Structure 1
Amino acid sequence: MSKNINPLLWLGLGIAGASYLSKTENREKVMELYQSVKGKVVDFLCEQNPSACQDLLEKAGNPNPHDLGDTRMVGEGAMYAVDYYNKEEQQE
C-alpha cells in the first residue's frame, strides 16, 4: 500500500507546483526567492572558504590553456555541438 502512495504524492506535488507557477506573479516570486537563497548560499560558502571564491573570480573570463580540467570541459562542449550538427545533417 505504501508503494502506491509515494508516486501519487509526487504527482500531487507536481500538479500543485504547476498550477502555482501558471501565474506570472507567482513565477516572479519564486525566481526572486531563488535568487535570494542562491546569493545567501554563495555568501555563506565564500565566508567558509574565501580563497576558493577568489580563485573562481580570478579564473572567470580568463581561462588558462594549461588548466586540463577547463580545457577538457571546453573540448567536450565543442564536440557536443559538432556531434549534434552531424546527427542533424545525417537525418536529412
Structure 2
Amino acid sequence: MGKLSKALGVAGVAVGATYLSKKENRQKLKKQINKGLNKFSKTDVKSWGKPSDVEDAEMVSEGAMTSVQYYNQLQGKSQSE
C-alpha cells in the first residue's frame, strides 16, 4: 500500500509540473487563487459562529425555550408561504 501511494504522489507531482510548465496555465491558476483569496478576505471573519439575533442567543444560553418556540413559529410561517 505504501508503494502505491508514493507512486500516485509522484505521478500527481509530475502531472502538476507538466500542467504548470505552460505560462498560460500558470496565469489561470494565479487568477483562481487570487479570486479565492479575495472572496475570503471580503468575508467578515469576526462574525463567524456568532448568532444573528443576540437576544435569542442569550435566552437560549440561559435555558429559556421561548426563543426556540419563536424560531419554530417563524419556520412554520416561511414554509406555509
TM-score (norm 1): 0.48
Q: Which has the larger radius of gyration?
A: 2
Given the alignment, which residue of 30, 46, 53 partners 1:49?
Answer: 46
SS of the residue 1:35 aligns to = helix
Residue deviations 1:15-49, cap 9 Å, x none? 000000000100000000010011111122xx131
- Hey, which bits of structure 1, 4+ residues long, moved more than 2 A? none
Give the letter for the 1:19 counterpart. T
Gaps of 5+ in 2: 48-81
> Which amino acid letter does the alignment assign opposite residue 46 of structure 2?
N
- Give aligned pairs, total: 47
- CA distance in 2 between counterparts of 1:41 and 1:11 reads 31
Taking structure 2 as the reference length, the TM-score comes to 0.54
**Which blocks of at least 5 consecutive residues in structure 1 are unaligned?**
51-92
CA–CA separation in structure 1 for the residues paired with 2:2 and 2:18: 25
Higher relative contact order (CA 8 A, sep 6+): 2
Q: Distance in 1 between matches of 2:33 and 2:10?
A: 23
Cα distance in 1 between the residues matched to 2:45 and 2:17: 36
Output aligned runs, 1:15-26, within 5 Å: 15-26=14-25
